[in-house]
Amino acid sequence: MDLYATLDDIRYLAGRDPVQTALLPMYWVWLAVADVMTSASPPIALVDAMLRIASRPVLLIAASEQPEMMLVQQLAESAPHSTELWIEPDTAHTEGLGTNPDEWTARVVDFLDRAIGR
């Protein structure tokens, strides 16, 4: 398995975020251990996944913290015509629904209504 191909998303952050750069060896070890423990294929890089689905509407909801904002901005830029990006203010990773439940619900429902043509 090419572990560095799996690290594409993290390598994007290297040089932009010193913490992520320092953590690259840890990520490599983590992925190497995962490779030993499973026969599953490594996931494709997120940018490659975005390019594969570029014709479909995508809503990215991100925390307002780094490095998440940097990574989702790169993802949104990889498919700008079909991707909406909402960076929730004052929100940590995975806390969007709990932090802003009314706005989160309104944005997601609006996106889904438009995406399925209602």
pTM: 0.69
Per residue in 21-45, pLDDT (tens digit) is 777 777 778 777 877 888 877 778 8
Domain ranges in the chain are 3-37, 46-115
Q: How far apart are CA 33 and CA 104, in angstroms?
A: 36
Q: How far apart are CA 74 and CA 12, in angstroms?
A: 9
Contact predicate 1/33, CB 8 Å: no
Residue 10 has pLDDT above 80, yes or no: no
